[in-house]
Chain A
Amino acid sequence: MERTTLDLWVGVFVVAGIAALVVLALKVGNLSTYNVSESYQLQAHFTNVGGLKPTASVRSAGVLVGRVVSIVLDTSNYDAKVTMSIDKRYQFPKDTFANILTSGLLGEQYIGLIPGGDDKMLQSGDEFKKTQSAVVLEDLIGKFLYNSSDAKK
């Protein structure tokens, strides 16, 4: 049993295939920013999440700090309960403000965190008390039309 050129080619093929997967994972995908083990979970309630989706990013001052894990309807007061996992490296004060924002006019929606001044930090499982819902474009346009027709009178 000796090595043949056929083995070489198969080896090249397998290495190239795995390399392609790694490239996809690191360069194309977000594996490089994935840190499943070192994160903690926080919750927030929004009256309307708009187009926010699981895996959407959570940013503070524009820096990616975590991702949305799940979005469910909380039937106790019929609003949306969003769970996000935040990188362990980043801690936020208790009075941090959570906003649903849009990147660009038609871009993806994400959660923006604006830290407050509290000394106490949010712990795993805690909730953001202050939130602002997504801007729903239809409502906005509706308001604008309503206002402009008002103004004409």
Chain B
Amino acid sequence: MNIVGGLRGIGKRVVNAVWRTGYGARFFVMTLRYSGMSFRRFRLTVREIFFSGVLSLIIILVAGMFVGMVLGLQGYETLKRYGSESALGSLVALSLVRELGPVLAALLFASRAGSAMTAEIGLMKATEQIDAMELMAVNPIARVVAPRFWAGVISMPLLAALFSAMGVFGGYVVGVVNIGVDEGSFWSQMQASVDFQHDILNGVIKSLVFGLAVTAIALFEGYDAPPTAEGVSGATTRTVVESSLAILMLDFILTAFMFQGA
């Protein structure tokens, strides 16, 4: 093993990564371009909303409930030290609506629905279903990829909203019902500090962006997967890793834009 060989290996990987990025960008543009069918034949998209959205419901609702309950407990413990337990409602609601709702729902969505999308498309490719479709004069991007993409983009904000609502309920159960924080101040503090435009709409925008990123990554990884068993399983892992990182990085960027100076 010599230095030149090692350098050549690194160079090859870099070139490969850049190449793949370009291919991915073109894939994304093609998906948008061939999206007409997803809306003209909305049934195709509805079907995919079932697979990505409805089937993720249980995990989202349960996770949201527990996250809210933990927030209620931890928040209470911390706020008690400063004698401001009444601010529990605003703490729970703000953390959920601004951050935890969109981010955690997107992370769960990536591992539940994103990985399934990658595996499905990867297998369709491995078993030549994509090729078959292409040779039947049906554009697989329009028929298979785009409906899944739009289903993800539509499902994600709804799932995030359900997660947050469930979390607020969980926080309420622990804070008010269990611990006994005053119910009136719980809700009124919450309403006084959570702004519709500033917090809730921004949360919705975040989850839209996350949904877009996760489905685009999942679909591309599936479409680009080598048509073998190892190829598909590798692509599934990459989907979860890449979309989790993308969610967290995008979250930072979006937060910086949305809440600066406020």
Tell me the chain B residues, 148-168 only, with Cβ under 8 Å from chain A: 155, 157-159, 161-162, 164-166, 168
How does the 8 Å CB contact mask read for A113-146 relative to B, with 1 for contact and 0 for none? 0000000000000000000000000000000000
Q: Would you call B54 and A13 a contact (CB within 8 A)?
A: yes
Task: Chain A residues near B198: list those with CB within 8 A.
Answer: 55
Chain A 98-118 near chain B by CB (<8 Å), digits 1 or 0: 000000101110000000000
Is A53 an interface residue, CB under 8 A from the partner?
A: yes
Is the Cβ of B46 less than 8 Å from the Cβ of A10?
yes
- Whether B194 contacts A28 by the Cβ 8 Å rule is yes
Q: Mark B48-59, 1 if CB is under 8 A from A, else 0.
A: 011001100100
A30 touches B194 (CB 8 A): yes
Q: Is the CB of A17 within 8 A of B162?
A: yes
A31 and B197 alpha carbons, distance in the complex (Å): 8
Secondary structure at the A interface, as helix, strand, loop or mixed, is helix
A-B pairs under 8 A by CB, number: 96
**A2 to B193 CA separation, bound complex (whole angstroms):** 47
Q: Which residue of B lies closest to A6 (CB)?
A: B50
1/0 per residue, CB under 8 A from A, across B179-213: the answer is: 00000000100111111101110001000000000
B200 x A57 contact (CB < 8 A):
no
**Minimal beta-carbon separation of A66 from chain B (angstroms):** 13
Contact with A28, one of B43, B157, B191, B204 (Cβ below 8 angstroms): B191
Known contacts: A6-B50, A107-B87. The answer to whether A20 contacts B262 by CB under 8 A is no
B204 near A21 with CB under 8 A, answer yes
Known contacts: A18-B158, A20-B161, A24-B165. The answer to whether A6 contacts B46 by CB under 8 A is yes
Complex alpha-carbon distance, A81 and B82, angstroms: 32
- Mask, A59-91, CB within 8 Å of B = 1, is 000001000000000000000000000000000
A55 in contact with B195 given A17-B161, A24-B161, A28-B97 (CB within 8 Å): yes
Residues of B within 8 A of A32 (CB): 191
Within the complex, what minimum Cβ distance (angstroms) separates B15 from chain A? 43
A10 adjacent to B192 (CB under 8 Å): no
Given A13-B57, A107-B84: A28 touches B190 (CB 8 Å cut-off): yes
For chain A, give the interface size range.
Answer: 20 to 34
Q: 1/0 per position for A28-40, CB-CB distance to B under 8 A? A: 1111111000000
> Which residues of chain B have C-beta atoms less than 8 A from A21's C-beta?
157-158, 161, 200, 204
Report, as a range, how many residues of chain B touch the other chain: 35 or more
For A30, give its contact among B43, B168, B191, B262 (CB under 8 Å): B191
| Pair A29/B194 contact, Cβ less than 8 Å | yes
Partner of A17, one of B47, B158, B194, B196: B158
**Do the beta carbons of A28 and B200 come within 8 Å of each other?**
yes
Give the docked Cα–Cα distance between A12 and B55 (Å): 12
Query: Once the chains bind, are A16 and B162 in contact (CB under 8 Å)?
Result: yes
- Chain A residue contacts of B191, Cβ below 8 A: 27-30, 32-33
Contacts of A55 in B (CB 8 A): 195, 198, 262
| Least Cβ–Cβ distance between B83 and chain A, in angstroms | 8
Q: Does B93 contact A (CB under 8 A)?
A: yes
Q: Which residues of A contact B161 (CB under 8 A)?
A: 17-18, 20-21, 24
In Å, the complex CA distance between A28 and B170 comes to: 13
Minimal beta-carbon separation of A149 from chain B (angstroms): 28
A27-B168, A27-B191, A108-B192 known, 8 other contacts, Cβ within 8 Å: A9-B54, A12-B54, A16-B57, A16-B158, A17-B157, A25-B196, A29-B97, A108-B193
Residues of A within 8 A of B (CB): 1, 6-7, 9-10, 12-14, 16-18, 20-21, 23-25, 27-34, 53-55, 57, 64, 104, 106-108
> Please, could you name 6 A-B residue pairs with CB atoms under 8 Å apart, sorted by A?
A13-B49, A13-B158, A24-B97, A24-B168, A29-B191, A31-B196
The list of the 9 closest CB pairs from A to B, nearest first, reads: A17-B158, A20-B165, A20-B161, A31-B196, A29-B196, A21-B161, A29-B194, A20-B162, A13-B54
